[in-house]
Amino acid sequence: MPDKTLMTDTAANSAKETKAQRVERLKRVRNPWEGLDEIRRFAREGFATIPPEWIGTYFRWWGVYTQGDGAGVTGGQGGEGRAIERFMVRIRIPNGIMTSAQLRAIADLTRRYARGIADLTVRQNIQLHWVTIESLPEVLESLWRVELHTTGACGDVVRNVTGCPVAGVDAGEVCDASPLVLEASRLLAGNADFYNLPRKFKISIAGCQSWCSYPEINDIGLTAITRPVDDKPEVGFSLRVGGGLSTEPYLGARLNAFVRWNQVVPVIKGIAELFRDSEVLREHRERARLKFLFLRQGWTADRFLDELNDRIGFRLDPAVEEHPPDDVYRDHVGIYPQKQPGYSYVGAVALRGRITAEQMQAAADLAERFAGGELRATTMQNLLIVNVPTMNADVLAKELEAIGLRVGGSSFARGAVACSGTEFCKLAITETKAFSRWLVEELEDRLPGFDQHLKLHVTGCPNSCGQHWIADVGLEGKKIKVRDRIVDAYYFCVGGALGLHQATARPVGYRCPAAEVPEALERLLRRYLTEREAGENLRRFFARHSNAELREFLAGGLVPPVARDLPSPQNLAQIGGVGD
């Protein structure tokens, strides 16, 4: 039966509450992870019996969102589009590590309940769409049977913990940090002590030298490092906190701390507790992330470290010198030797993250046929098969190509990342998945042989679920009027980078209809090819040109700057998106 306390949520009371107050009240009333019996009842009795607090809040703790009607935010009101009686279900995959049996189970559910398509996400998850309430219990139970879960994939909780997708096999890694990823996931996902955080909370633990799980944009970013102890190297971690994107990007603050291996989980728990217990972060939904302690509350890295040391009950050692990756590309696409002699891993492009049930089934079969049945999802929405005997790698690559998962391909295909867009998301302004595929195909035709690394990220709204702030070229979805018609458009941001040269992408003041984006990018990239200096990559090329010059390159002539058209203040409560 519905909670009697929730029955008192009258229209009069709701009118007096802000969105933050309402969500905080609902979280205090119950732990949604205790609501499985209600989900089963909704499945028996139908969509019409689901109360608003489940539709708008509680389902998220189960990795479940209502699906948009395809029109995105412009089809609704109050900063959110209309929902239909279908759900997105996000499957949490810590470190992106899967077995063939698990991927085969996801493929089967995709075929039966999700119209045959799924999406790989930028946090190493897999999302299903078109799921009905009647089928939701069966989806959850089928996942549990293969030790997969959706709890913690959405909601005001610790999200999927990410890590290097080639952990344990990377020939150059400092350490295999995946055991720590899995331990942190076991501690936090579904733990009642952490069901009620102010907002989403993201963790990355990377043992590689490439920092390929993007620690700089996580609430907690741990990167492996060594220090000498008695003339021997001791493996530990650098620690960054408060990273995040959305409408106000902030690259995580590095703390003066060396975190030993056995301190990692207590440190993560301590930071999660600091976040959980911060009442000031609960006052506004749009300012509820950990980064706002730095951006709005005047915290410094030193103060944060002092608070953390007090919380965990011991003092962390001072940091040691680190060496952030210098313009390292992190897509893992291709064939690479592992540290295990005689073995390789094979990385394939799932263009803009879209993958079919048939492709997942085939990839699972190929992983068993040519390797040991181990696969990984990446933060660039791609798929890897690891522990492949090197003598099988070329044949496996050809088999993956045959099912539409390219091992290699153009710079445009390898670097393309896209959020869900209006196809499924109620907050999106533009369609992104089909647009991204078309854009890649156009650029491949216009610039054959372009061989420079290019991170090309498409996000359908300012929330940056497509991570346009860290791309070489980031496209942010807008609407503009063209001959009395409202059409999809994109605003250009360039020069985003992580690692040694970390910087958020610069909004250059140029916007054009979606149909004109390929031509604008062709002009920009041809200018780069013509005028680049010896050894100059795109990041450096963009850095040495002004916004006015870059607008001219994009437009083909001098044009005045255009504002980004951020959402109005009354809609800011929606900011944060439904992304990972």
Of 466, 474, 577, 579, which residue is the catalytic one?
A: 466
493 is catalytic: no
465 is catalytic: yes
The alpha carbons of the chain give a radius of gyration, in whole angstroms, of 23
269 is catalytic: no
| Of 258, 152, 263, 170, residue with least CA distance to 211 | 170
285 is catalytic: no
Please give the angle made by the CA atoms of 180, 90 and 382, to the nearest 5 degrees.
70
Crossing angle, helix 517-531 and helix 547-555, to 10 degrees?
A: 120
The two three-digit tokens of residue 3, written as one number: 């909670």
CA 200 to chain centre: 12
How many other C-beta atoms lie within 10 A of the C-beta of residue 119? 24
Residue 222 three-state SS: strand
Of 200, 202, 240, 376, which residue is the catalytic one?
A: 200
Of 27, 92, 199, 455, which residue is the catalytic one?
A: 199
* Residues 6+ away with beta carbon under 8 Å from 181: 94, 95, 161, 162, 163, 167, 205
Of 154, 425, 465, 493, which residue is the catalytic one?
A: 465
90 is catalytic: yes
Q: What is the dihedral of CA 482, 484, 485, 489, to 10 degrees?
A: 30
HEC string for 433-490: HHHHHHHHHHHHHHCCCCCCCCCEEEECCCCCCCCHHHCCEEEEEEEEEECCEEEEEE
511 is catalytic: no
Of 72, 242, 347, 460, which residue is the catalytic one?
A: 460
Q: Please report, for residues 70, 95, 203, 471, 491, the alpha-carbon distance to residue 168 in angstroms, rounded to integers and kept in the order given.
A: 41, 11, 19, 27, 39
Contact 207, 225 (CB under 8 A): no
Contact 388, 346 (CB under 8 A): yes
Task: Phi first, then psi: give them for residue 476, nearest 5 degrees.
Answer: -110, 125
Of 90, 202, 376, 455, which residue is the catalytic one?
A: 90
The two three-digit tokens of residue 273, written as one number: 């507790």
Q: What is the Cα–Cα distance from 176 to 174, expressed in whole angstroms?
A: 7
Q: What is the Cα–Cα distance from 502 to 498, expressed in whole angstroms?
A: 4
User: Catalytic site residues?
Assistant: 90, 199-200, 460, 465-466
